[in-house]
Amino acid sequence: MNKKELKLFLDEKVIQYNNQKFIQSDPIQIPHLFTKKEDIEIAAFLAATISWGNRTMIIKNATKMMHLLDNDPFDFVINHKEKDLESFNNFVHRTFNASDFKQFIRSLKHIYKNYCGLENALKIKDDSTNYQTTIHKFKKLFFEETQETRTLKHVSDPLKNSAAKRINMFLRWMVRNDKTGVDFGLWTTHNQAHLSCPLDVHSGNVARKLQLLKRKQNDWKALSELDKNLRRLDAKDPVKYDFALFGLGVFEKF
């Protein structure tokens, strides 16, 4: 396909998958349980954090997280006492365990109390056109007061060449706004033109087959290459093509 044909093909796939039906089988359904901005942010951040592996299990465990937060995430984060975290003791999702979950709640409280919340803490504050440096800085803020070194691995660092798939997915959920009702578009201080595709095995393989990506590893260098090519197709909303790449890979086995 030439560029025009590729854009037409991918735009059609975006329309096919970027709609309300997508929510039913995706972890994005977890933040859609809430209406308050801070509840949506926290639910989305936690659901995105455990979004690897079987999607049914991700949704099941993210739902369990919300129950443990009394289905009132922001209030729990801000007002919890250490003893309130004891109810987390049996929680586990793959390598994310109760100890990690407890630290994430403490760290979220730190972000909201000291850095005006997730939207501000993850805002690009220099002349960057992507979130690479911002995510690196956010990780430092997020774990500023932790002694739990084992938990550090659950927030990726793009400056160490991680593609940071889960946090880029979280950013898409919060920033992107196209009125279809899948992504939230809550963070109006951010620019969706700066978003990066959540790069994983599925989207990476499809991108390579469509010659949007040549690099073999799914790392930040590959993400930068993919960013460049997707922005040529739509400079204002490049990450909409995540729906196309993901849908082609997961649902159509492209």
Helix (H) and strand (E) counts for the chain? 12, 2
Query: Count of alpha carbons within 13 Å of 234, Cβ hemisphere only?
Result: 18
CA distance 138 to 237: 23
Query: With bands split at pLDDT 50, 70 and 90, how would you rate the model's confidence at 253?
Result: confident
Q: What is the pLDDT of residue 124?
A: 98
pLDDT at position 76 over 90: yes
Contact 123, 171 (CB under 8 A): no
pLDDT tens for residues 183-210? 999 999 999 999 999 999 999 999 999 9
Ordered alpha helix ranges (H), the chain: 3-17, 20-23, 37-49, 55-68, 73-79, 98-114, 118-121, 132-142, 165-175, 201-209, 220-233, 241-246
pLDDT tens by residue, 20-56: 999 999 999 999 999 999 999 999 999 999 999 899 9
d(CA 163, CA 13): 23
Find the mean pLDDT for residues 99-124: 98
